[in-house]
Chain A
Amino acid sequence: MALDQSFVGRTYPPTSAYEVGREKIREFAEAVGDGNPAYTDREAAKALGHPDVIAPPTFVFAITFKAAGLVIEDPQLGLDYSRVVHGDQKFAYTRPVRAGDRLSVTSTIEAIRSMAGNDILDIRGEVRDESGEHVVTAWTKLVARAAEEA
């Protein structure tokens, strides 16, 4: 069943703050095998001009995708998550995420399309720090495959 077009443009309330931990960044960097010292060594990060260790570029997805749960699990929208695959992902950074950040995400439905029975949902997540400054925007395209193909 096609998703309701009237949800396009709908913005969900900002999430409560996610505090970025130094050890969580380390865990993520180790999980992707990335030894860049800017992720684990405060002095190395400072030498690059950062106030503390920074997170790898895709780290923030864990935060924005959790926030997108407000959209994905919105009973009024009625997305069948069991048939959803991740289509596209994009980030635009004002600055890197860093340890100590308290980040809040505001999710907006940018587009809903139906193509060959698949529902395509574009969600934009604006990530801001405690002072309200923009950190990064994440665009996530989800594709709910047509029921008959499931």
Chain B
Amino acid sequence: MAAKVAFEDVEVGTELPAQSFPVDRATLVRYAGASGDFNPIHWNEKFAVEVGLPDVIAHGMFTMAEAARVVTDWTGDPAAVVEYGVRFTKPVVVPNDGTGALIEVSGKVAALLDGNRVRVDLTATSAGQKVLGMSRAVVQLS
């Protein structure tokens, strides 16, 4: 474990560098293959609409993976993430318009814990909607 961020350098309110993650249909097809989640709501518009969705939506786990990057890019060592949880509150709608969607993620230190650990709270939005709730990571700093 070798996080490049030291516990003594952070305080409650310290902001992690925010990032934006573009997602289009090709991203979702690639993620489906890599993750093994071939649910057609993530690539078949007709199917998605038939089950009541506005359009194809991103895999919730794709959004969770992108949000984690704000933490792992901050610590350098991904193993610094010792706990990570999210609630899937709203889908990320991915239109087939050549642009797709954007997932915007920010994070800040919400609590200092024992053993040089901190709790980071993440905020993820797409098209102005909060797409993750209770998005929290416990992070081992050095």
**Which A residues contact B (CB, under 8 angstroms)?**
24, 27-28, 30-34, 36, 38-39, 47-50, 54, 56-58, 61-62, 65-66, 85-93, 95-96, 139, 150
State the CA gap A128–B35 with chains docked (Å). Answer: 20
User: Quick one: which of A50, A56, A150 contacts B72, CB cutoff 8 A?
Assistant: A56
Question: B115 on the interface (CB 8 Å rule)?
Answer: no
User: Quick one: which of A49, A96, A150 contacts B78, CB cutoff 8 A?
Assistant: A96
State the CA gap A58–B63 with chains docked (Å). Answer: 10
List B residues 62-108 near A (Cβ within 8 Å). 62, 64-66, 68-69, 72-73, 76-79, 81-88
Q: A139: shortest Cβ distance to chain B, in Å?
A: 7
Q: A135: shortest Cβ distance to chain B, in Å?
A: 12
Question: B113 on the interface (CB 8 Å rule)?
Answer: no
Nearest neighbor of B1 in chain A, beta-carbon distance? A49
State the CA gap A26–B86 with chains docked (Å). Answer: 24
Q: B24: shortest Cβ distance to chain A, in Å?
A: 12
State the CA gap A33–B58 with chains docked (Å). Answer: 15
Give chain B residues whose Cβ lies under 8 Å from the Cβ of A91: 83-85
User: Quick one: which of B1, B73, B76, B85 contacts A90, CB cutoff 8 A?
Assistant: B85
CB of A32 within 8 A of CB of B78, answer no
User: Quick one: which of B1, B60, B65, B134 contacts A32, CB cutoff 8 A?
Assistant: B65
Given contacts A32-B65, A32-B66, contact A48 B72 (CB under 8 A): no
Give chain A residues whose Cβ lies under 8 Å from the Cβ of B21: 33
Give chain B residues whose Cβ lies under 8 Å from the Cβ of A57: 65, 68, 72, 78, 81, 84
The 9 A-B pairs at the shortest CB distance, nearest first, are namely A90-B85, A31-B34, A32-B65, A96-B79, A58-B65, A28-B34, A48-B77, A48-B2, A31-B31
CB of A50 within 8 A of CB of B79, answer yes
Give chain B residues whose Cβ lies under 8 Å from the Cβ of A31: 27, 30-31, 33-35
Give chain B residues whose Cβ lies under 8 Å from the Cβ of A27: 33-34
Interface centre among B35, B37, B52, B81 (most CB of A within 10 A): B35
User: Quick one: which of B60, B73, B76 contacts A89, CB cutoff 8 A?
Assistant: B60
Give chain A residues whose Cβ lies under 8 Å from the Cβ of B64: 58, 89
Beyond A56-B72, A62-B36, A150-B51, 17 additional pairs, beta carbon < 8 A = A28-B34, A34-B65, A36-B73, A36-B78, A38-B79, A48-B2, A49-B1, A49-B2, A57-B65, A57-B72, A58-B65, A86-B60, A86-B61, A87-B87, A90-B83, A91-B85, A92-B83
